[in-house]
Amino acid sequence: MSKRLAATFLAMAMGASGLRADTLPLVKDILKSPTGYLFTKDERKALEKLASEQEVNKFLELFWAKRDPDLNTQVNEFKADFEARVKAADKMFSVGATPGSLTDRGKVLLLLGRPTRASNLPAGSAVQGAQRDTGPYQDRGATEIWVYTKDRLPQGLVKAEEVWAVFIETRVGSNEFILDRTDPRNVAVMKILAEMPEVLVRNPKLTEVPRLGLLPRSKAAKGEDLAVFDKGEVWPEGALSFVAEGVVATSLNPIWLYIQLPDAVGPAASVVGRVTTTDGDEVGTFVKDIVPLSVSGGRGYEFSLPLDPGKYQLQIALLDSAKNVLASKALTFEVSSIPETGTVISPFYWGVDVRQEATAHLGDPFNIGGWHVIPRASNAYTSKENLAYFCYILHPALDDSGKADYRVTLTVYKDDKKLNENADQPVNLSQVAPDLWMFGNGLPLSVFRKSGDYVLEVRLRDARANVERTARIPLSVTVQ
């Protein structure tokens, strides 16, 4: 065969496979991988035209973002679910050197998910409902039938109440099952599989990948957003701030920030922030619409910043609906490293405004096991109020019956002089999650008979692990 003729045959072969002769090897690998099932015709053509690895990586970022059901979260739930299905298919359906995700059963699982029900017929069985004769029953391998009911498939994709996927074993005992393209019962599922790449695109008009910010459900701030910090700090009279570490888990140790603005300032509609290391390296930014909390004496705003252990500086600005700066400030703080094992008692969180929120998530600012504690940043209280204080406990020491032995000591000081002490009282813990417990208690401020500045010292001790945490809560009490 001449070289020219051989080249012609090669070009024809490349065209038949849907790949150009000059297509990047990386692109070929992608299209032959399980991810290749997801490409629409237009996306496949666009991918094959890319000329560099950088272009391919940028293309894939947008490819996955177009399928993300919620662009406001850090996790692409679709991608995570797809990767989990790939692992499941590889585990269940692999045949020889062929990964299970690249088999027919794997493809159906990846695109349609688990069937509503499935049945298996052994080799040599007659297949009920077969509309053609495929030879003597005894020569047939096993048959698998997956049934998808209408409610398990994308809305509007099928009219029938259920769809079948019939897989036949290529030979007895091979464990290699194929979707029989000639079986009329597979017509509907074949049509659905062909349409799924288009159906799975959630954000077809997306032209660039959204850059998320550090705050949950925020966007990364742009240059024009960050320009507010060029004007310097704006901190109105009566504004207050409070920072605490939210120790929730070994891998979840956010910084909780509370800012309160007086009523006269007006409501903030958005927040802009930038976090840097103490060396000046940028860690991340955020911009987000916000809604104030109605609190005594003004409006409160809460934020939860997930950060790795280290020292940081935060620049934060609250803006009104016209983008005017209501308040801006620079704060420095440190995030502690939480050990993987051993008992850890979190800092205490306290206040007199406590709201029960059953739908709260771990890591929500100043929320301890569903109890939302609004900080009183001014530390000013009246004797008619009740002070509540809470903390989390990681990995408490438990006895064989699963019980902890915790003791609390309350001490009241005025001008560094001890006025009263209630020592080593046993207390109960409440379990929030595996290895995570909480402690909460309260103190009626009516116990203070004279107005003045006090300190309530709370010391919680794990009697078995010999671990303790002490909080000194400043109280400026006005007796009424």
pLDDT tens per residue, range 445-480: 999 999 999 999 999 999 999 999 999 999 999 999
Q: Lowest mean pLDDT of 16-25, 385-394, 413-422, 464-473, name the range.
A: 16-25
Q: What is the DSSP pairing of strand 380-382 with strand 467-478?
A: parallel
pLDDT score at 126? 53
Domain boundary pick from 178, 199, 220: 199
Residues 172, 42 share a domain:
yes
Say which range, 5-9, 230-234, 386-390, has the weakest mean pLDDT. Answer: 5-9
Q: Are residues 82 and 118 in the same domain?
A: yes
Going by C-beta distance under 8 Å and a sequence separation of 6 or more, which residues neighbour residue 206? 62, 65, 66, 71
**What proportion of the chain, given as a percentage, has pLDDT over 90?**
75
CATH code of residue 258: 2.60.40.2550
Q: Same domain for 322 and 408?
A: no
- What pTM value is reported for the model? 0.68
Distance CA 251, CA 257 (A): 19
> Tens digit of pLDDT for each residue in 306-361?
998 999 999 999 999 999 999 999 999 999 998 888 999 999 999 999 999 988 88
Residue 72 is predicted with a pLDDT of 80
Give me the chain's average pLDDT, please.
Answer: 90
Answer yes or no: is 143 within a domain. yes
Sequence-ordered list of residues with C-beta below 8 angstroms from that of 312, at least 6 positions apart, any chain: 255, 275, 276, 277, 278, 283, 332, 333, 334, 335
Residue with token string 């003597």:
136
CATH of the domain at 411: 2.70.50.30
Among residues 352, 333, 336, 356, the alpha carbon closest in space to that of 344 is found at 336
- Exposed (0-12), middle (13-18) or buried (19+): which is 213, by Cβ within 10 Å? buried
The H or E element containing residue 86 is helix 77-93
From CA 367, how far away is CA 432, in angstroms rounded? 12
Number of domains in the chain: 3
Whole-number pLDDT of residue 410: 97
Q: What is the pLDDT of residues 82-106, one digit of tens each?
A: 999 999 999 999 999 999 999 999 9
The SS3 call for residue 469 is strand
Domain co-membership, 224 together with 313: yes
Residue 6: the pLDDT is: 40
Judge whether 65 lies within some domain. Answer: yes
Secondary structure class of 88 (helix, strand, coil): helix
Q: Closest Cα to residue 379, out of 262, 474, 267, 244?
A: 474
Q: Quick one: 51 and 106 in the same domain? A: yes
Q: Which domain holds residue 120?
A: 17-199
Residues 6+ positions from 152 with CB-CB distance below 8 Å: 112, 113, 115, 116
CA proximity to 461, closest of 418, 397, 417, 400 = 397
What is the signed CA dihedral for 284, 285, 289, 293, rounded to 10 degrees?
A: 70
pLDDT single digits (tens) 378-400: 999 999 999 999 999 999 999 98
Same-domain check for residues 34 and 162 = yes
Evaluate whether residue 417 is within a structural domain: yes
Residue 204 lies in a domain: no
For residue 127, name the pLDDT band (cuts at 50, 70, 90). low
319, 337, 355 - which closes a domain: 337
pLDDT for the residue numbered 139: 56
DSSP state letter for 160: S
Distance CA(359)–CA(369), nearest Å, equals 10
**For residue 101, what are the CA distances in angstroms to 83, 254, 264?**
10, 38, 62
pLDDT of residue 24: 86
Same structural domain, 385 and 330: no
Judge whether 205 lies within some domain.
no
Q: Tokens 């001490």 correspond to what residue?
A: 411
Q: Which of 337, 369, 398 is the last residue of a domain?
A: 337
Residues 69 and 93 in one domain: yes
What pLDDT is attached to residue 125?
A: 64
User: Within this chain, do residues 301 and 163 fall inside the same structural domain, yes or no?
Assistant: no
Residues 282 and 248 in one domain: yes
Q: What is the band of 297 on the pLDDT scale with cuts at 50, 70, 90?
A: confident
With contact defined as beta carbons under 8 Å apart, do 350 and 473 qualify? Answer: yes
Distance, in Å, from the CA atom of 161 to the CA atom of 394, rounded to the nearest integer, reads 50
pLDDT of residue 18: 52
One domain for residues 378 and 328? no
Instruction: Report if residue 6 sits inside a domain.
Output: no
Residue 62 lies in a domain: yes
Summarize pLDDT for 28-77 with one digit per residue, the tens. Answer: 999 999 999 999 999 999 999 999 999 999 999 999 999 999 888 777 89
How far apart CA 454 and CA 387 sit, in angstroms, is 13
Q: What percent of the chain has pLDDT over 70?
A: 92
Determine the residue type at 313.
Q
79 located within any domain:
yes
Helices 41-48, 25-32: axis angle to 10 degrees equals 160
Cα(396)–Cα(460) distance, integer angstroms: 12
* List of residues 6+ apart from 12 with CB closer than 8 A: none
